[in-house]
């Protein structure tokens, strides 16, 4: 028996294919090509690679743009991409990259060293998005296009892990960007919902809050790891609720869904008719305290809250698929140590710290802000309420959309007492985590604690520019111990990814450096 499902999305009809072995499929066939449907819970506010990144934004950026290098595999390794080779001077200050020839942007313009220079300069000058990764030691004027296919970076200080951060910097077409500049904005307004890349996909539709459609570049310069015409494009659509995501997958309205709730993920996975990606991530979940706020500026209060929290909730909420942090650094980060005396649920100790605070008897209310629709963060708030009752502190739960939550956490004056944050290191180098506790990260969601320990800041700066690893390791051990002592957050847990898809979806490529719901579209295809 053959059957088809049809679903209207933003006025465009997406047709399910025939039932196969009693299970419908979501992909659409257009002119003999297959269009994959992916359902996620987080929208894309801006595509501009210089301005912003999160798991969903980065997934689309990675689809339409290319970087000099790329992370692949586990353990993660740097793979040549636009740069076919590179070298470093003996003093570690000069990095030279040799570009692949004959690469073109989507509009046909050549991608050359000048485009690379422009893209890095633009990101550094805007001082947003990934700028923090390189801005402390790379000035725009020290980036030179030596010739059409050679780009050179001269650093202010030697920085050994530089290459580990390069996958986060994408190359844009200077002509397209500057042709769409308005009032000196460097093309920012245009790049919200347009792209100027050379990646494996072209942006076809950008319907904010609804869906984002990509078309495969058939003559993509890098080619594809699969043979034949097996994928014509991808539609990423928003389904905000986990239950609706699950239903869409089962009914054949989505080929892949990301970030189902733990219970729903386990229920669907047990059916045995779907494939899953449950690999561990470098991502940490914690509750950031506003250490400059009215309440959480008190270290003893922060300690009291941290020791009152019931950490067993992480294991219960994630159905055993979570591990407690034993350091501010997650497992897999180079130089990570197990910090002694990490807070665990101990009401007696919590009361001892509370007694030393400005509020020895409690009697205060703390705000807990979390992502609206993310059920595990909601459940974490309920655990927080129950935990802090033991020390006479009440909790006000405040659900917000991700953009509004990020905006709230960007200023000391508006950042809440506690902010639920999933933070993914952009590299397995310890600098990627340590910089979250440096003033350069203040105002960003992962720096919303506004942690202010000048000695730790000095240690972070010294460690990132020390070339000898043994010396760096000692510094990072000190950093981890002191951060835990200051308690700028509840150090939570590391969880596994929860991505589930039909078995006809092939080419799912995992790397632990990626964010929890980030997917590399380049390798995906349909075998059906």
Length of the chain: 528
**What is the per-residue pLDDT across 352-366, written as a single tens digit (0 to 9) for each?**
999 999 999 999 999
Confidence of residue 2 (pLDDT cuts 50, 70, 90): very low
Across the chain, mean pLDDT equals: 90
List the single range of 134-143, 453-462, 514-523 with lowest mean pLDDT.
514-523
Specify if 190 maps to a domain.
Answer: no
Predicted TM-score of the model (pTM):
0.81
List the single range of 164-168, 176-180, 294-298 with lowest mean pLDDT.
164-168
Confidence of residue 416 (pLDDT cuts 50, 70, 90): very high
Question: Is there a single domain that holds both residue 345 and residue 267?
Answer: no
- Percent of the chain scored above 90 by pLDDT? 70
**In sequence order, which residues have a C-beta less than 8 Å from that of residue 372 and are 6 or more positions away?**
399, 400, 401
Closest CA to 265 of 319, 315, 314, 313: 319
Which pLDDT value is given to residue 19? 32
Specify if 187 maps to a domain.
Answer: no
What number is the average pLDDT over the span 394-421? 94
Taking a C-beta distance cutoff of 8 angstroms, is the pair 497, 342 a contact? Answer: no
**What is the per-residue pLDDT across 176-209, written as a single tens digit (0 to 9) for each?**
999 999 999 999 999 999 999 999 999 999 999 8
Question: Is there a single domain that holds both residue 271 and residue 360?
Answer: no
Question: Is there a single domain that holds both residue 388 and residue 288?
Answer: yes
Tokens standing for residue 205: 């539709």
For residue 59, the 8-state DSSP code is: H
Domain boundary among 178, 211, 235: 178
Which pLDDT value is given to residue 467? 84
The range of the structural domain enclosing residue 328 comes to 284-495
Question: Is there a single domain that holds both residue 397 and residue 507?
Answer: no
Question: Is there a single domain that holds both residue 319 and residue 427?
Answer: yes
Which pLDDT value is given to residue 12? 34
Which pLDDT value is given to residue 516? 75
Alpha helices in 111-261, H assignment, sequence order: 113-126, 162-165, 174-179, 242-251
**How many other C-beta atoms can be found within 10 angstroms of the C-beta atom of residue 148?**
12
C-alpha–C-alpha distance, residues 453 and 30, integer Å: 58
C-alpha–C-alpha distance, residues 494 and 324, integer Å: 6
Looking up residue 90, the CATH number of its domain turns out to be: 3.40.190.10
Indicate if the alpha-carbon torsion angle 52, 430, 96, 223 is positive or negative: negative
Residue 52: left if φ>0, alpha if ψ -120 to 50, beta else—which one? beta
Specify if 55 maps to a domain.
Answer: no
Q: Is the pLDDT of residue 28 over 90?
A: no
Q: Is the pLDDT of residue 518 over 90?
A: no
What number is the average pLDDT over the span 498-520? 87
Question: Is there a single domain that holds both residue 365 and residue 471?
Answer: yes
Question: Is there a single domain that holds both residue 405 and residue 306?
Answer: yes
Question: Is there a single domain that holds both residue 149 and residue 82?
Answer: yes
For residue 110, the 8-state DSSP code is: B
Question: Is there a single domain that holds both residue 241 and residue 288?
Answer: no
What number is the average pLDDT over the span 79-105? 96
Q: Is the pLDDT of residue 444 over 90?
A: no
Tokens standing for residue 263: 């219970």
Domain boundary among 178, 213, 244: 178
Which pLDDT value is given to residue 15? 34
Specify if 194 maps to a domain.
Answer: no
**How many other C-beta atoms can be found within 10 angstroms of the C-beta atom of residue 87?**
10
Which pLDDT value is given to residue 1? 32
Q: Is the pLDDT of residue 6 over 50?
A: no
Specify if 126 maps to a domain.
Answer: yes
Higher pLDDT, 114 or 52: 114
Specify if 52 maps to a domain.
Answer: no
Higher pLDDT, 55 or 80: 80
Confidence of residue 5 (pLDDT cuts 50, 70, 90): very low
What number is the average pLDDT over the span 489-498? 89
Specify if 183 maps to a domain.
Answer: no
Number of domains composing the chain? 3
Domain boundary among 126, 146, 178: 178
Specify if 169 maps to a domain.
Answer: yes
**What is the per-residue pLDDT across 37-49, written as a single tens digit (0 to 9) for each?**
999 988 898 999 9
Q: Is the pLDDT of residue 20 over 80?
A: no
**What is the per-residue pLDDT across 237-250, written as a single tens digit (0 to 9) for each?**
999 888 999 999 99
Q: Is the pLDDT of residue 127 over 50?
A: yes
Question: Is there a single domain that holds both residue 410 and residue 515?
Answer: no
Residue 186: left if φ>0, alpha if ψ -120 to 50, beta else—which one? left
Which three-class secondary structure state does DSSP give residue 455?
helix
Question: Is there a single domain that holds both residue 99 and residue 248?
Answer: no
Question: Is there a single domain that holds both residue 488 and residue 509?
Answer: no
């Amino acid at each position: 028996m053959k059957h088809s499902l049809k679903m209207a999305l933003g006025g465009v009809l997406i047709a399910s294919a025939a039932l196969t072995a009693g299970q419908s499929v979501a992909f659409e066939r257009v002119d003999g090509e297959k269009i994959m449907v992916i359902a996620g819970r987080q929208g894309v506010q801006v595509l501009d690679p210089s301005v912003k990144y999160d798991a969903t934004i980065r997934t689309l950026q990675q689809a339409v743009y290319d970087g000099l290098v790329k992370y692949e595999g586990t353990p993660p390794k740097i793979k040549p991409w636009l740069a076919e080779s590179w070298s470093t001077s003996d003093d570690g200050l000069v990095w030279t990259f040799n570009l692949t020839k004959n690469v073109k942007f989507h509009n046909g313009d050549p991608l050359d060293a000048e485009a690379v220079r422009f893209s890095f300069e633009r990101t550094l000058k805007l001082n947003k998005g990934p700028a923090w990764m390189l801005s402390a030691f790379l000035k725009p004027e020290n980036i030179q296009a030596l010739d059409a296919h050679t780009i050179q970076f001269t650093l202010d200080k030697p920085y050994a892990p530089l290459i580990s951060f390069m996958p986060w910097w994408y190359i844009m077409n200077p002509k397209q960007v500057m042709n769409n500049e308005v009032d000196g904005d460097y093309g920012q307004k245009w790049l919200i919902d347009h792209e100027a890349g050379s990646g494996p996909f072209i942006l076809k539709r950008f319907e904010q809050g609804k869906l984002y459609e990509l078309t495969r570049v058939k003559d993509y310069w890098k080619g594809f790891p699969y043979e034949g015409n097996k994928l014509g494009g991808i539609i990423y659509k928003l389904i905000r609720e986990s239950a609706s995501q699950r239903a869409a997958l089962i009914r054949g309205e989505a080929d892949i869904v990301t970030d189902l709730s733990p219970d729903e993920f386990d229920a669907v996975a047990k059916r045995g008719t779907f494939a899953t990606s449950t690999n561990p991530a470098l991502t940490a979940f914690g509750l950031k305290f506003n250490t400059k706020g009215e309440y959480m500026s008190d270290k003893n209060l922060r300690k009291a809250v941290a020791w009152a929290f019931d950490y067993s909730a992480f294991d219960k909420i994630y159905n055993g698929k979570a591990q407690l942090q034993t350091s501010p650094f997650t497992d897999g980060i180079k130089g990570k140590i197990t910090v002694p005396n990490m807070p665990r649920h101990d009401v007696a100790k919590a009361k001892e710290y509370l007694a030393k605070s400005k509020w020895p008897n409690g009697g205060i209310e703390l705000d807990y802000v979390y992502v609206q629709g993310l059920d595990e963060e909601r459940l974490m708030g309920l655990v927080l309420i129950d935990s802090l009752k033991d020390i006479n502190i009440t909790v006000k739960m405040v659900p917000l959309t991700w953009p509004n939550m990020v905006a709230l956490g960007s200023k000391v004056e508006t950042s809440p007492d506690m902010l639920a944050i999933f933070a993914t290191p952009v590299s397995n180098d310890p600098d990627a985590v340590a910089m979250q506790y440096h003033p350069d990260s203040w105002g960003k969601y992962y720096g919303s604690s506004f942690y202010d320990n000048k000695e730790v800041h000095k240690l972070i700066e010294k460690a990132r520019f020390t070339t000898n690893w043994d010396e760096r390791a000692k510094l990072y051990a000190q950093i981890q111990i002191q951060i835990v002592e200051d308690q700028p957050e509840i150090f939570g847990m590391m969880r596994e990814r929860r991505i589930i898809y039909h078995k006809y979806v092939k080419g799912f490529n995992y790397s632990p450096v990626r964010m929890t719901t980030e997917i590399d579209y380049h390798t995906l295809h349909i075998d059906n």
